[in-house]
Chains A and B, each alone.
Chain A
Amino acid sequence: MGEGPVSLSLRGISKRFGQVKAVDGIDLSVGQDEFLSLLGPSGSGKTTLLRIIAGLELPDRGTVVVGGQDVTRQPPYRRKIGMVFQNFLLFPHKTVAENIIFPLRMQRASREECVERLGWALNLLKLKGLEARYPNQLSGGQQQRVSLARGLISRPTLLLLDEPLANLDRELRAEMEVEIRRYQKELRIPFIYVTHNQEEALTMSDRIAVMRNGVFEQIAPRVEVYQKPATAFVASFVGQSNHLLGKVMQCAAGQLVIDWKGRELTVPCNETLGAGEAVRFMIKHEDVQLRAMGRASRDQAAFNRLKGKLRDIIFKGQTANFILEIDNGCELIASGSLRDTDVRAGDSVLVEWPQTAGVCFRDKP
């Protein structure tokens, strides 16, 4: 992050509901043309954080600064923030046009401005011709566009999106993901996007904040979150990984040698661990390569290599998941294109991955 002025900054935000710490001391800065995703499982506090930014929830502690102004104690209607909701929340008794210009009317904009901005929004979101319809006469995708138009029409300093695609079907979702990112890049308004769907977060965001139990586990550019997860939780939540539970044999600078059910593996590690400590090694499905027996040709030393049997192939369209039974009795999954491999279920195979791939953390019981 970093170029340009800061649009939103949160300092030490905390919020409790009874005994539950929904948000626990969050600090965050969002740049002026940044797309940030708050990614986390349900109950991680991401929606509460979004509602605090919007002013719908008052934090117990901390400050919210939007566009250089401390708005912590300001009610939502003074914050000039746009928002898109999960179940759209279009006003059922208002037409599409009335719904979209609602924020402008609240700001007492002139009639001419309303008409002009409405034209702009209808154009941007391809809603021409639907102005006079009522929300219950629209499809899910159209409702979502109207909801977006309403969020964007008054040029907010910030647009908050609360799982806006959760209620759409898969195909439409993929289409909207691309479009939402395009609007953000065109309009240069910071978007804060709450989701529990890692694919959505990875597709759209510049940065991703992974949240769990009210705190950020990691906040980093999307590629970094994917490739260099900071914690075991992030590693397991983002992407699909194999989890290998083992014991430390040797610890050197940035590298561990672990014992995984009788097999020796060399894995990268940033922590200093003592011999005998239990660890969890996670390697993404697509990092695991498989070759037919006898075809290994690379440098032996830089790879972890295991013998096994291909038990099944789960066809997923562009890729396939190969279910592998390693000769120590454990199971691994590798994913790759079917075209590149000519193995069949039942074949004996070699499984390998670079010693620099994957992440390893101390395994907390």
Chain B
Amino acid sequence: MTTYGAVSGVEYRKWLMAVALGLLYIFLYAPIAYVIYASFSEDIVWPFPPSLTLQAYANVFNDSLYGDALINSLKIGVGSGVLSTLIATAAVIGLLRYPSRYRTALFIVFLSPLFVAELLIGISSLAFNARILGLSGNIFSAIAANAVEGVAFSFLIILSQLVRYDWQMDDAAMVFGAKPLRCFWEVTLPTIWPSVFGAFLISFILAFNNLEISFYNLGAIPTLPSVAWGSLRFGLGPELFAIAAMTNALVFTIFALMYVLMRTGIVKFGYRGT
């Protein structure tokens, strides 16, 4: 069988891009692998040659500091994830569904947090809370400050899917007796949920692991990143590596599950092709 030049050119480029993707994954996951490996090592500064132990994992469950930090991080992650997803979903719908002459300006307002560095968000909310409002660091201001970035990312993610949405679908639902909220629940959300879920996930991760914003808003309340930051002075404790390893184990279990579900075609996660 003859292969035409053009066809093989396409194949060739495709494989080259696949290799680039593969290399990127290796690059991204090498440190993760290192973290997992080091969490089992006796000496985390000089982990080679290997000498394995579960000591770090035992310490995690014995020291209440890590438990507290994990719970605080989860609170901030979930709180800011939910807050940003709600705000962003409402805003995108409001902007796309109803024509407005201020649309472009409003787009810029909602995307503006992307143009402000985390460090600036952290520092400015610290300065604002402490000096203008007279508040000391608390978990609510940390959730709010983290959600600033989350809103922008969620807005971008949801926008990218919702621009393709046919709003006449809502018209149809409404003519057949669905009130606006019911419309959203029955028709809009089932179509756009992958992006809403993605938005929540991204804003959760950003807030969960955020050092700079949380650090300046929390004061003495520990989170996982701030404990990591604090322990840097004495060298990182292997316990943090152990927590990270467990988080990754959980995340990859979920991914594997997703893959199996997709493979068997039970769930499509919004993909509507063949």
Whether chain A touches chain B in the assembled complex (some CB pair under 8 Å): yes
Interface residues of A (CB under 8 A from B): 51, 54-56, 75-77, 79-83, 85, 87, 89, 91-93, 102-103, 106-107, 136, 150, 154, 160
Which chain B residues border A75 with CB–CB below 8 Å? 174, 179
Interface string of B164-175 (1 = CB under 8 A from A): 001011011111
Also in contact, A106 and B178, with CB within 8 A (given A89-B168, A89-B169): yes
Q: Distance in Å from the Cβ of B236 to the closest Cβ of chain A?
A: 47
Q: Which of B172, B179, B190, B272 contacts A89 (CB 8 A)?
A: B172
Interface residues of B (CB under 8 A from A): 166, 168-169, 171-179, 182, 186-187, 190-191, 272
- Which residue of chain A has its CB nearest to the CB of B166? A89
Q: Which of A56, A77, A82, A87 contacts B179 (CB 8 A)?
A: A77
Which chain B residues border A85 with CB–CB below 8 Å? 168, 171-172
Which chain A residues border B190 with CB–CB below 8 Å? 91, 93
Also in contact, A77 and B169, with CB within 8 A (given A91-B187, A93-B191, A136-B272): no
Q: Summarize B's interface: helix, strand, loop or mixed.
A: helix
User: In the bound complex, how far is the Cα of B177 from the Cα of A82, in angstroms?
Assistant: 9
In contact, B182 and A106 (Cβ under 8 angstroms)? yes
Q: Distance in Å from the Cβ of B142 to the closest Cβ of chain A?
A: 37
In contact, B171 and A76 (Cβ under 8 angstroms)? yes
User: In the bound complex, how far is the Cα of B172 from the Cα of A107, in angstroms?
Assistant: 15
User: In the bound complex, how far is the Cα of B249 from the Cα of A231, in angstroms?
Assistant: 77
Q: Distance in Å from the Cβ of A145 to the closest Cβ of chain B?
A: 16
User: In the bound complex, how far is the Cα of B168 from the Cα of A51, in angstroms?
Assistant: 11
User: In the bound complex, how far is the Cα of B177 from the Cα of A83, in angstroms?
Assistant: 11
User: In the bound complex, how far is the Cα of B173 from the Cα of A83, in angstroms?
Assistant: 10
Q: Distance in Å from the Cβ of A221 to the closest Cβ of chain B?
A: 29
In contact, B191 and A102 (Cβ under 8 angstroms)? no
Which chain A residues border B178 with CB–CB below 8 Å? 77, 102, 106
- Which residue of chain B has its CB nearest to the CB of A88? B172
- Can you identify 15 A-B contacts, CB atoms within 8 angstroms? A51-B171, A55-B174, A55-B175, A75-B174, A77-B175, A80-B177, A85-B168, A87-B166, A89-B166, A91-B173, A91-B186, A102-B178, A106-B182, A107-B177, A150-B176
Q: Which of B168, B177, B186, B191 contacts A92 (CB 8 A)?
A: B191
Q: Across chains A and B, which 8 residue pairs bring their CB atoms closest together, nearest first?
A: A106-B177, A103-B176, A89-B172, A93-B190, A76-B174, A83-B175, A77-B177, A76-B175
Q: Distance in Å from the Cβ of A32 to the closest Cβ of chain B?
A: 20
Q: Distance in Å from the Cβ of B168 to the closest Cβ of chain A?
A: 6
Q: What 18 additional pairs, Cβ within 8 angstroms, besides A54-B171, A76-B174, A85-B172?
A: A51-B171, A77-B176, A77-B178, A77-B179, A81-B175, A83-B175, A87-B166, A87-B168, A89-B169, A89-B171, A91-B173, A91-B190, A92-B272, A102-B178, A103-B177, A106-B176, A106-B177, A150-B176
Q: Distance in Å from the Cβ of A203 to the closest Cβ of chain B?
A: 25
Q: Which of B169, B172, B182 has the most CB of A within 10 A?
A: B172
User: In the bound complex, how far is the Cα of B185 from the Cα of A102, in angstroms?
Assistant: 13
User: In the bound complex, how far is the Cα of B173 from the Cα of A75, in angstroms?
Assistant: 12
Which chain B residues border A55 with CB–CB below 8 Å? 174-175
Which chain B residues border A106 with CB–CB below 8 Å? 176-178, 182
Q: Distance in Å from the Cβ of B181 to the closest Cβ of chain A?
A: 11
Q: Distance in Å from the Cβ of A147 to the closest Cβ of chain B?
A: 9
Q: Distance in Å from the Cβ of B185 to the closest Cβ of chain A?
A: 12
User: In the bound complex, how far is the Cα of B174 from the Cα of A102, in angstroms?
Assistant: 11
Which chain B residues border A76 with CB–CB below 8 Å? 171, 174-175
In contact, B172 and A83 (Cβ under 8 angstroms)? yes
User: In the bound complex, how far is the Cα of B171 from the Cα of A79, in angstroms?
Assistant: 13
Which chain B residues border A102 with CB–CB below 8 Å? 173, 176, 178, 186
Which chain B residues border A56 with CB–CB below 8 Å? 171, 174-175
User: In the bound complex, how far is the Cα of B171 from the Cα of A87, in angstroms?
Assistant: 13
Which chain A residues border B175 with CB–CB below 8 Å? 54-56, 76-77, 79, 81-83, 160
Q: Distance in Å from the Cβ of B28 to the closest Cβ of chain A?
A: 33
User: In the bound complex, how far is the Cα of B176 from the Cα of A107, in angstroms?
Assistant: 9
User: In the bound complex, how far is the Cα of B201 from the Cα of A317, in angstroms?
Assistant: 62
Q: Which of B169, B177, B186 has the most CB of A within 10 A?
A: B177
- Which residue of chain B has its CB nearest to the CB of A81? B175
Which chain A residues border B272 with CB–CB below 8 Å? 92, 136
Q: Distance in Å from the Cβ of A294 to the closest Cβ of chain B?
A: 62
User: In the bound complex, how far is the Cα of B171 from the Cα of A92, in angstroms?
Assistant: 15
User: In the bound complex, how far is the Cα of B191 from the Cα of A106, in angstroms?
Assistant: 19
User: In the bound complex, how far is the Cα of B272 from the Cα of A150, in angstroms?
Assistant: 23
Q: Distance in Å from the Cβ of A167 to the closest Cβ of chain B?
A: 13
Which chain A residues border B191 with CB–CB below 8 Å? 92-93
User: In the bound complex, how far is the Cα of B174 from the Cα of A55, in angstroms?
Assistant: 9
Which chain A residues border B171 with CB–CB below 8 Å? 51, 54, 56, 76, 85, 89
- Which residue of chain A has its CB nearest to the CB of B183? A77
Q: Distance in Å from the Cβ of B263 to the closest Cβ of chain A?
A: 20
- Which residue of chain A has its CB nearest to the CB of B187? A91
- Which residue of chain A has its CB nearest to the CB of B270? A93
